[in-house]
Structure 1
Amino acid sequence: MLMSSRAARRRRRPLEAAGRRLDRIARTVLPGRHPRRGVRGDEPLRVLLPRGLASLAKESGIGAAIRHQETAVRALGHEVVTNPLRPFDVVHLNTPFPDTPLLAHWARLWRRPVLMWAHSTEEDFRDSFPGANRVAPLFRRWIAHLYRRGDLVVTPSEYSRGLISRPEYGLRAPVRVLSNGVDTTFFRPGPGARRRLREQLGLGPEARVVVSVGMQLVRKGILDWVEVARLLPEVTFVWYGRTDPRMLTRDVERALASAPPNALFPGYVQAEQVREAYCGADAFCFLTKEETEGIVLWEALACEVPALVRAIPIYRDGMPDGVLTHQVAGDGPDFPGRAAEKLAALLDGELADLRRAGREAAEGVDIQQIARTLGTLYEEVGAQPHRPAPGRDG
């Protein structure tokens, strides 16, 4: 037994030695492995936000979060790099796609710190795409593997931090909370939006309009949303956002096919049109069943549209009913009726006006505020400018 263990150690030594030799070669050959000489401490960082497979998520909340990070990076005076083959000083990784661990390994090869954004959890993967519930435990193991590749894990809420801090995720790196934020200079009340929205939808000036934004998923509450529209035929309901038809579950397909005529589905639209919808609507109805934050809710609050949401834990605990939003608790067959009743009360002005409070809360997570906290995260992981190797452009 003793001889066997010694032989195993001898077999491993050549591999270990080869690994050390490769690392020494990498230190010599690869450009930019060491801090730049003679640079000031306030010199801008080159922050890698790789495109890669992340482009597949551009219509999702993760895509919005990446765009917000780019804005925050530039607000700090740093440079955004999108090509991992260009010199960089720190990397943000956001997506649960197969290129993420490769990019993390690439950053480690260059000895660059990795900020791993934990947008996803097992809970918010469920009730999304066909077969999602069956593979949700595997998905959790996969994202846990990804999150363990970070020097720092960043998640958008205390609620999501609690989820990914459970033992089954096995995280060893520090976990920090940083909201995805909202651009309150862009998302803000707009004069004339009410009239323009109704003209665009072909409605009369007094028509009541309720909007929601997101992918067409069970998790996002679209099944209940369609039923609420059915119960309030005098109100026009508009859902902005789409899901690839090949990824729709059967119950969502049926809901979309049988939706009442007062439920409209314009699909994915640009940010300017979403802002018009928020500003011109009478209410924002967000019946999502699970979120790690919900960027669209912050956008709606920034535009001062009255909001009705499902009282899921992140909203029930983080913004209790009647503080920033009005809420309806629970699920099940009676939920659409209770939601429709409360939404009607909101539209009739029978509930408290929370618009100003919502706007002030959104200003608290404005991207400029987020940028300042992001700067402290760079300091925590030791991100610093790096020099190019002699004769190489850095």
Structure 2
Amino acid sequence: MLMKTRAVRRPRRPWDPAVRWADHALHTVVPGRHPRRDVRPDEPLRVLMPRGLASLAKESGIGAAIRHQESAVRSLGHVVVTNPLRPFDVVHLNTPFPDTPVLARWARLWRRPVLVWAHSTEDDFRDSFPGSNRLAPLFRRWISHIYRRGDLVVTPSTYSRDLIAAPKYGLTAPIRVLSNGVDTRFFRPDPEARGRLRESLGLGPTSTVVVSVGMQLVRKGILDWVEVARCMPHTTFVWYGRTDERLLTSEVEHALRTAPSNAQFPGYVRPEQLREAYCGADAFCFLTKEETEGIVLWEALACGTPTLVRGIPIYRDAMPDGVLTHQVSGDDPGFPDRVATKLAALLDGELVDLREAGRQAAESVDLLQVARQIQEIYALVGAQPHRRLRRKR
């Protein structure tokens, strides 16, 4: 005679809750590998733009570029995801920090397209921080390693594309040129800003004000800028932006400490204050020695600010002297005097008025134009909506 057996209940183990949590994370939090079933053609993408160490760059040009990308992506109707543990369909990587290659590998694990923005080069790393010139070759190897993690590399100008396409970078992925763009609806001319800016600076209504924007680095031209201010004692020079004191070179520290009384350094300010500065200034004087694009220049042009820049290759080629900006070339001891002479002529109205041309050029790289090109890039790399893996019950 056969006896019926009774199922024995397995005793509860102490690690069971952890196993259930891991299983839940694997199947519901971590994104799946498979495309969503029955997705509509207009289904929005989930675009991963991880915070992580990128928050360290929020006051830099890279931080501004990330904010521009977020605005452009949202204008397309897509969803911006900041947590890499949440489902995503494509990833934007922008910073040269240690977590970037890790995030690239994570995206590849889940077979998601990786877009790497090449904001930095060996050339623009030089003259930045103490020891940067010695470390520049190592920095180039590091960013090359990061750029090679991308399915497609995006760089903001033809000039920077030519730099990173050199054999020493060793890139094999396609390189696409896409401006960082400018929000021309936010940065726009405002004649009434002139009085407000002078009031905020404690100046008289007829005072002449020249502004510049950027981190306080030798590469950004701050040493020459201070000397130009010294040559023009009756003009107020205002530099917006800052660098952590621990990262200042001795040259920059000395320049800031001995700057003339007509040079002011308000530090990092909100975008609304920056717009006020552009619109209220008599000129924007940007003496940077190396750029891959220069978002602040587009912002000044969008605001209709008369602009004088150093004639470096990217600007000589993309916007020759007298077309969108006025330029002074060189990096010799006589450079500040030549800048002061041309800047005085610009302030006195002796040079051609390029404000309208500058505004039109800025509109050509408006964030809506950038958004359309980002959508083309998504199609190029095959970005598509994905579904989560669900637990089978």
Distance 1:93 1:147 in 2: 9
Q: Does structure 2 conserve the Cα–Cα contact (< 8 Å) formed by 1:27 and 1:33?
A: no
Go from structure 1 to structure 2 and tell me whether the alpha carbon gap of 1:254 and 1:30 turns closer, same or farther (over 3 Å shift). Answer: closer
* SS of aligned partner of 2:195: helix
Q: Which residue of 2 aligns with 1:50?
A: 50
What percent identity do the matched residue pairs reach?
79
Q: Which residue of 1 aligns with 2:269?
A: 269
Q: Which residue of 2 aligns with 1:84?
A: 84
Q: Which residue of 2 aligns with 1:117?
A: 117
Distance 1:273 1:302 in 2: 15
Q: Does structure 2 conserve the Cα–Cα contact (< 8 Å) formed by 1:322 and 1:352?
A: yes
**How far apart are residue 32 of structure 1 and its match?**
1.6
Residues 1:281 and 2:281 are matched in the alignment = yes
Query: Residue type matched to 1:73 in 2?
Result: V
1:240-294: per-residue Cα shift (whole Å, max 9, x none)? 0000000000000000000000000000000000000000000000000000000
Larger Rg: 2
Q: Which residue of 1 aligns with 2:147?
A: 147
* SS of aligned partner of 2:176: strand
* SS of aligned partner of 1:239: strand
Q: Does structure 2 conserve the Cα–Cα contact (< 8 Å) formed by 1:65 and 1:180?
A: yes
Residues 1:185 and 2:185 are matched in the alignment = yes
Q: Which residue of 2 aligns with 1:223?
A: 223
**How far apart are residue 191 of structure 1 and its match?**
3.2
Q: Does structure 1 conserve the Cα–Cα contact (< 8 Å) formed by 2:124 and 2:291?
A: yes
Q: Which residue of 1 aligns with 2:13?
A: none
Distance 1:268 1:226 in 2: 18
Once superposed, what is the RMSD of the aligned Cα atoms?
1.3
Distance 1:266 1:114 in 2: 38
**How far apart are residue 99 of structure 1 and its match?**
0.1
How many residues in Structure 1 have an aligned counterpart in Structure 2?
A: 367
Q: Does structure 1 conserve the Cα–Cα contact (< 8 Å) formed by 2:33 and 2:111?
A: yes
Distance 2:104 2:41 in 1: 25
**How far apart are residue 189 of structure 1 and its match?**
0.7
**How far apart are residue 41 of structure 1 and its match?**
2.2
Q: Which residue of 1 aligns with 2:332?
A: 332
Q: Which residue of 2 aligns with 1:23?
A: none
Distance 1:29 1:197 in 2: 49
In the superposition, the TM-score normalised over structure 2's length comes to: 0.92
Q: Which residue of 2 aligns with 1:374?
A: 374
Query: Residue type matched to 1:92 in 2?
Result: H
* Structure 1 segment 55-204 matched on structure 2, within 5 A: 55-204=55-204
**How far apart are residue 233 of structure 1 and its match?**
0.3
* SS of aligned partner of 2:327: strand
Distance 1:28 1:67 in 2: 29
Distance 1:83 1:319 in 2: 39
Query: Residue type matched to 1:351 in 2?
Result: L
1:352-381: per-residue Cα shift (whole Å, max 9, x none)? 000000000000000000000000000000
* SS of aligned partner of 2:42: coil
**How far apart are residue 40 of structure 1 and its match?**
1.2
**How far apart are residue 190 of structure 1 and its match?**
1.3
Q: Which residue of 2 aligns with 1:248?
A: 248
Which consecutive unaligned segments of at least 5 residues does structure 1 have? 1-25
Residues 1:308 and 2:305 are matched in the alignment = no
In the superposition, the TM-score normalised over structure 1's length comes to: 0.92
Q: Does structure 1 conserve the Cα–Cα contact (< 8 Å) formed by 2:28 and 2:388?
A: no
* SS of aligned partner of 2:265: strand
Q: Which residue of 2 aligns with 1:10?
A: none
Distance 1:89 1:343 in 2: 49
Distance 2:358 2:212 in 1: 17
Query: Residue type matched to 1:282 in 2?
Result: D
1:114-152: per-residue Cα shift (whole Å, max 9, x none)? 000000000000000000000000000000000000000
Query: Residue type matched to 1:156 in 2?
Result: P
* SS of aligned partner of 2:146: helix
Q: Which residue of 1 aligns with 2:346?
A: 346
Q: Does structure 1 conserve the Cα–Cα contact (< 8 Å) formed by 2:215 and 2:242?
A: yes
